Structure 1
Amino acid sequence: MAHKILWADDEIELLKPHLIFLRDKGYEVDTVTNGNDALEEIEQNSYDIIFLDENMPGLTGLQTLEEIKRKRPNLPVIMITKSEEEFIMEDAIGAKIADYLIKPVNPRQILSSLRKNLESKDLISKKAFTNYRQEFGQISMELGSCRSTEDFVEIYKKLVFWELELEGVADQGIREILEMQKKEARQEFGKFVSRNYLSWIQDPDDETPDLSHTILQRKFIPELKQGGGETTFLLVIDNLRLDQWYILKEVFTQYFKVEKESVYCSILPTATHYARNALFAGLMPREIEKIYPDLWLNEEEEGSKNQHEEELFKSHLKRHGKNLSVKYHKILNQEYGKKVADNFANLTQVDVAVLVYNFVDMLSHARTDMDVIKELATDEAAYRSITKSWFEHSHLLDVLKKIAESGSKLVLTTDHGSIKTSNPVKIVGDRSTNTNLRYKVGKNLSYNAKDVFEIKKPEQAHLPKANLTSTYVFAYKQDYFVYPNNYNQYVKMYKDTFQHGGISPEEMLVPFVILSAK
C-alpha cells in the first residue's frame, strides 16, 4: 500500500516538480495552502506523514504543528523553512518534529527524509536479514572450531547481537534459523563445560576463564583506591543476562563511559546461593562452608542462604590487604530502593558502596508463578523489554544519575543469568532433594546420566557435601528437571519459564563492566 502524504505550503504551485517526483515514486500526495486546511484534512483523512511549511499566512507552521501534535501526537511532521533562525529550529524540534529541511529542497532530500521516517524499520530489517544470512555460515564454522572459553564468548556475543538485530524482522524463517544456531551453541557449550569445568576448579591455568570466585580479585579489587575520598560503586543486578545488559547499556551510556566490558563465567550451580556467595567471598562454596561455617547454609537447612554477603565481601577485601570502609545495600523492593536513592550522600562517605538489586531474579521467579507475568514475558524479547521498562522507572536509575554526578567509578556485574526452558527431563529424588529445576543435589538421585552433567564427588568441584553420597546433577541446553509423579502437570507448569542453575551460555556467560562518569 502506498504511503499517503499531506503537503502544506502557501506556494504549493511552485512545488509541482516535487509532487510529480513523489507520485512517480509511488507516494500519494494531497496538498493544501494553509494551516487551517491542513488541520481539516487530518481530521477527515488518514496520513502517514506531513510536509509543513514554516512560513504560511494565517496559522504559522509552528502554530499548525502544535495543533497537529495535539490532535495526532504520533503523526510524523517534516518542517520545511526558508529561515535558518536557531529559535525556529529549536521550537520545531521541541515540538517533536520528525525532520527539518531548509529551502530550497531538492527531490532527493525529500525522498531521503521520507524513507528515513516511513521505511527505516523495513530497510533496517532487510539489511539485518541480509547481513545475518551472510554471516550464518561463518558462525557455524566458528562454532565447530571452538576450543576455549573465549571462543564461546565471542560466538555467544555474536548470537546475542543478531538476536537483537533481528528482533523486528517479520520473516519468521530467519529467526528460526537463528534459534537453531543458538541451540547448537548451547549443545557445544555444554560439552565444552562438562569436559573442562572440574579442571578449571581443581587446577586453574592460563586457559581458565574468570569465574565467580576470582572475578572481583582480578578485575574489581585493582580498581579500588585506599582513602582519597573517592567512592567506588559495585552494582550487582541479580540474574542479569548478557542480552539484558546490552539493552540496559543504551540507558547507562547516557551517563557513563564504558571503560572495560568483559564476560566472566558463573560457577555451578548457576544459582544465587552458590554463585553470588562465591562472588562476594572470593571463595568457592566448599571453602566458604569450611572457613565461615556460621555464614553458610546448605540446601536442606532452613533460612535465607544469602544473608551474609556483606561479611563475606569485607573479609574478601581484607584478605587482599584492602582495609576499606564499606556500605552494603540489598534492594528487594521499591520502598527500600527509594530510601537508598534519597540517602545517596551517605554512600559517598565510604570507599566502597555495594548495591545488590534483585528485581530481574524476582521477575524470572514471578514469571514461573504468576500467569499475568507469563503473558507479559512470553519470550526473550518481551523479557528484555520488561527488564528495560523496570530499569527506566526504578530508583536504581535515580541512583545511577547521582553516581554519575558525583564522578565516581561504577562497576556493574551479576551472579548468573537464566534460560527459557522447553524440554522436560525426568529425575527421581527423595524428600531432601532441592527444588531447583536446573540442578539437583541429593543422596538418592535417579536419572539418565546421558541427560545431565553429574558431579558424584562434590569436593572435586569445591561444593558442599551434606551427605557421604551427595551428588550434584546439572541440566544442559533448555532442559528442566521434572519428577515422574504428576509429570504432565509439572511439564505444563514449567515449560517456557526462565530458570537458572544449570549449564548454558545464557546462565554462565555474564557481563562484567567498568564504567566512569561522563
Structure 2
Amino acid sequence: MPIKILWVDDEIDLLKPHILFLEKKGYETATCNNATDALEILENENFDAILIDENMPGLSGLEALPKIKEIRPNVPVIMVTKSEEEHIMEDAIGKHIADYLIKPVNPNQVLLSLKKLLDSSKIISEKTVINYQQEFRNIAMDMMNARDYEDWQEIYKKLVYWELELENIEDTGLVDIIENQKKDANAAFFKFIERNYQDWLFDEDDAPILSYNVFKKLVKPHISKEEKVLLIVVDNLRYDQWKTIEPIFNKYYNQEKENLYYSILPSATQYARNALFSGMMPLDIEKKYPEIWLNDTEEGNKNMHEKEFLADQLKRLGMGDISMNYFKILNSDFEKKIADEFNNYKNNDLNVIVYNFIDILSHAKTDNRIIGEIIRDDKTYRSITKHWFENSYLMDIVKKCAQEGIKIVVTTDHGTIFVKEPTKVIGDKESSTNLRYKLGKQLQYDPKDVLAIDQPEKFLLPKVNVTSKYIFAKENLFLTYPKNYNHFVNYYKDTYQHGGISLEEIIIPLVVLTPKK
C-alpha cells in the first residue's frame, strides 16, 4: 500500500515539483491550500502523515494543530515555517509536532523527514539485521580463538549487545539465531571454566576478579572519609538486565566505570554473596565462622550475617573506622521505609543495600502461574525488570543520592539462566536440592553434562563429609532426580535458575556511577 500524506500550504501550487518528487518515491500526496478545508478532509479520510504551513491566511498552521490532534491524535505532523524564531518552534513542539522544516524546503528534506517518521523502524531493522549478519562470523571466530577471561568478557558483551539490538526485530528466525549462538558460546565457556577455574583460586595474577576479592579491588578504592558511597547489590542481576536499566540510572548519574567480574562456584547466593561481603572463599568462611556457616543440607537462613562479614572485611582492609549501614530489602514496605528515612543515614561513609527483587521475580516465574506466563523469555524478563526499577522506591533513593553528591556502585552476586533441558542425577537423601548444582556424597550423573569436583577443598569449598562432591550443570541444563521425573521436568523447565556454569550466571556487572552536577 502507498503511504498517504496530506500537505497543507496556501502556496501549494508552487510546490507541485515537490509533490511529483514524493509521488515518484511512493508517497500518495493529497493537497489543500488552507487549514479549515484540511480539517474537513481529516474528518473523512486518514493519512500516514501531515505537512502543514505554520503561517497561512485565516486559520494558521499553529492554530490548527490542536484541532488536528483532536481529529487524528496519532498522525505525525510536520510543521513547515519561514520563521526560525525560537518561540514559534517552542509553540509548535508544545503542540506535539513530530518534526519541523524551514522554508524554502528541498524535496529531499521533506523525503528525509517522512522517512524518519514513517520508515525509520523498518530502515533501522534492516540495517541491524545486516550488521548482525556481518558480526555473526566475527563472534564465532572470537569464540574459537578465546584464550583468557578477558576474551570471554568481550564475547559476552557482544552477545548481549546484539541480543538487545535484535529484540525488537519481528523476524523470529533472528531470535533463534542469537539464541543458538549464545548456546554455542556457553558450551565453549563451560570448557574454558573447566580448564581454568581451579588455577584462578590460587593465582590472582592470571585470574579475573572473583566474588571474594571484588570488594577489595573494585569497591574499596571509592570509599573514603571525603567521598560517600552507596553500594547496591541486586541479587540475580545479569549483565543484559543491567544494560536494560542503565538508562534509568543515567538520568541522574554519569558512568565512571563499567566492570565485569566472575562469580565463584556455585554461582548461588549462599556462596557468592557471602564471599563478596566477607572477602573470603566459602571454605575460609566456614573455618573462620564455624558457628554461623550453614551447608546446603542444614536448616536455616544462609545469608543472615552479611553485615558482620562486611564489617570484619572492612577491619582487615584497614577501614574499620568508617561509618557504615546495611539494609536488606525483601519487600516494598521496607523499601519505602528506607527511602523515607534517607536523611538518617545519608552522611555515612558507606551505605549498603541488598535488593532482592530480581531473585523474588525469578522464583515467582517458577511458583506463580500468572507471572510464569508474563515472563516468557529473556526479553519479557528484562522488560519487567526495567518497569519495576522505573517505579521502585529504590530509584527514589538513587535520586536523593544524586542530589547529595553520593557516588553509587551497582553490582550483584551472580546471574541466572533460563533452563530448558533436564539431565538426570541420582543422589542419597542428604544431597542438596539445587537445580544447577548439587552437593552430595553418592551422586550419579552424566559426566558430559556437568563439572564434577571430587575434592571440594581444592576448590576452596566446604564439604558435609569426607566423600562429598559438587557437580555444576553446564549451558541451560537443570539437574533432575528420577523420582517423579516427568512432573519435576514440567514444573521447572523454562524457569530461571542459578548455581551452575554459564555466561549469564558467571560474568556479572559492577558499575561505578558519579552524580551529575
| Shorter-normalised TM range | over 0.9
Q: How many residues align?
A: 515
Could you state the TM-score of these two structures normalised by the residue count of structure 1? 0.95
Distance (Å, rounded) in 2 between the aligned partners of 1:283 and 1:80 = 66
The residue identity in structure 1 corresponding to 2:389 is F
The offset of 1:36, in angstroms, is 4.0
The answer to whether the aligner puts 1:214 opposite 2:217 as a matched pair is no
Q: Quote the residue 1:54 is aligned against.
A: 54
Distance (Å, rounded) in 2 between the aligned partners of 1:73 and 1:298 = 61
Describe how 1:189-204 pairs up with structure 2 within 5 A.
189-201=189-201, 203-204=202-203
The offset of 1:241, in angstroms, is 0.8
The offset of 1:72, in angstroms, is 4.1
Q: Quote the residue 1:287 is aligned against.
A: 284
The 1:353–1:487 alpha-carbon spacing in structure 2 relative to 1, beyond 3 Å, is same
Distance (Å, rounded) in 1 between the aligned partners of 2:51 and 2:291 = 71
Q: Quote the residue 1:420 is aligned against.
A: 418
The offset of 1:249, in angstroms, is 1.3
The 1:38–1:268 alpha-carbon spacing in structure 2 relative to 1, beyond 3 Å, is farther
What do the CA deviations read for 1:232-254 (whole angstroms, capped 9, x no partner)?
11111111111111111122222
The offset of 1:279, in angstroms, is 0.8
The offset of 1:480, in angstroms, is 0.6
Q: Quote the residue 2:90 is aligned against.
A: 90
The residue identity in structure 1 corresponding to 2:123 is L
The offset of 1:9, in angstroms, is 2.6
Q: Quote the residue 1:147 is aligned against.
A: 147
Describe how 1:211-360 pairs up with structure 2 within 5 A.
211-225=210-224, 227-228=225-226, 230-323=227-320, 324-360=322-358
Which one is further off, 263-272 or 338-347? 338-347
Q: Quote the residue 2:103 is aligned against.
A: 103
Q: Quote the residue 2:397 is aligned against.
A: 399
Aligned residue for 2:280, secondary structure, equals coil
The offset of 1:57, in angstroms, is 4.0
Aligned residue for 1:110, secondary structure, equals helix
Distance (Å, rounded) in 2 between the aligned partners of 1:65 and 1:435 = 64
The offset of 1:444, in angstroms, is 2.4
Distance (Å, rounded) in 1 between the aligned partners of 2:301 and 2:74 = 49
The offset of 1:370, in angstroms, is 1.5
What do the CA deviations read for 1:281-331 (whole angstroms, capped 9, x no partner)?
111112112212343222122222112111111111111000211111111
Aligned residue for 1:301, secondary structure, equals coil
The 1:92–1:449 alpha-carbon spacing in structure 2 relative to 1, beyond 3 Å, is same
What do the CA deviations read for 1:242-287 (whole angstroms, capped 9, x no partner)?
1111111122222211111110000111111111111111111121
Distance (Å, rounded) in 2 between the aligned partners of 1:463 and 1:42 = 72
Describe how 1:22-37 pairs up with structure 2 within 5 A.
22-37=22-37
Q: Quote the residue 1:176 is aligned against.
A: 176
What do the CA deviations read for 1:85-143 (whole angstroms, capped 9, x no partner)?
21221232233322121222111111111111111111111111111111222211111
The 1:374–1:40 alpha-carbon spacing in structure 2 relative to 1, beyond 3 Å, is farther
Aligned residue for 1:28, secondary structure, equals strand
Distance (Å, rounded) in 1 between the aligned partners of 2:2 and 2:152 = 46
Distance (Å, rounded) in 1 between the aligned partners of 2:96 and 2:464 = 63
The residue identity in structure 1 corresponding to 2:266 is P
Distance (Å, rounded) in 2 between the aligned partners of 1:71 and 1:362 = 45
The offset of 1:354, in angstroms, is 0.7
Which one is further off, 233-242 or 490-499? 490-499
Q: Quote the residue 1:450 is aligned against.
A: 448
The 1:387–1:70 alpha-carbon spacing in structure 2 relative to 1, beyond 3 Å, is farther
The residue identity in structure 1 corresponding to 2:138 is Q
Distance (Å, rounded) in 1 between the aligned partners of 2:340 and 2:39 = 46
Distance (Å, rounded) in 1 between the aligned partners of 2:428 and 2:461 = 20
Distance (Å, rounded) in 2 between the aligned partners of 1:400 and 1:64 = 42
The residue identity in structure 2 corresponding to 1:277 is N
Aligned residue for 2:111, secondary structure, equals helix
The 1:91–1:346 alpha-carbon spacing in structure 2 relative to 1, beyond 3 Å, is farther
The 1:92–1:355 alpha-carbon spacing in structure 2 relative to 1, beyond 3 Å, is farther
Q: CA RMSD in A?
A: 1.7
The offset of 1:409, in angstroms, is 1.1
Q: Quote the residue 2:204 is aligned against.
A: 205
Which one is further off, 343-352 or 497-506? 343-352
The 1:391–1:5 alpha-carbon spacing in structure 2 relative to 1, beyond 3 Å, is same
Which one is further off, 170-179 or 192-201? 170-179
Distance (Å, rounded) in 2 between the aligned partners of 1:382 and 1:353 = 31
Distance (Å, rounded) in 1 between the aligned partners of 2:236 and 2:59 = 55
Q: Which of 368, 372, 375 matches 2:373?
A: 375
Q: Quote the residue 2:436 is aligned against.
A: 438
The residue identity in structure 2 corresponding to 1:17 is P
The residue identity in structure 2 corresponding to 1:195 is R
Distance (Å, rounded) in 1 between the aligned partners of 2:274 and 2:484 = 34
Distance (Å, rounded) in 1 between the aligned partners of 2:58 and 2:339 = 50
The residue identity in structure 2 corresponding to 1:176 is D
Distance (Å, rounded) in 2 between the aligned partners of 1:330 and 1:40 = 61
* Unpaired segments ≥5 residues, structure 1: none
The residue identity in structure 2 corresponding to 1:281 is S
Aligned residue for 1:214, secondary structure, equals helix
Distance (Å, rounded) in 2 between the aligned partners of 1:40 and 1:25 = 27
Which one is further off, 289-298 or 179-188? 289-298
The offset of 1:366, in angstroms, is 0.8
The 1:222–1:450 alpha-carbon spacing in structure 2 relative to 1, beyond 3 Å, is same
The offset of 1:70, in angstroms, is 4.3
Aligned residue for 1:213, secondary structure, equals helix
Distance (Å, rounded) in 2 between the aligned partners of 1:39 and 1:418 = 55
Q: Quote the residue 1:13 is aligned against.
A: 13
* Unpaired segments ≥5 residues, structure 2: none
Distance (Å, rounded) in 1 between the aligned partners of 2:288 and 2:82 = 76
Which one is further off, 326-335 or 469-478? 326-335
Distance (Å, rounded) in 2 between the aligned partners of 1:89 and 1:112 = 19
Aligned residue for 2:206, secondary structure, equals coil
What do the CA deviations read for 1:201-237 (whole angstroms, capped 9, x no partner)?
2x12322110000111011111111x23x32111111
Aligned residue for 1:206, secondary structure, equals helix
The 1:79–1:287 alpha-carbon spacing in structure 2 relative to 1, beyond 3 Å, is same
Q: Quote the residue 2:74 is aligned against.
A: 74
% identity of equivalent residues:
54
Q: Quote the residue 1:117 is aligned against.
A: 117
Distance (Å, rounded) in 2 between the aligned partners of 1:76 and 1:470 = 67
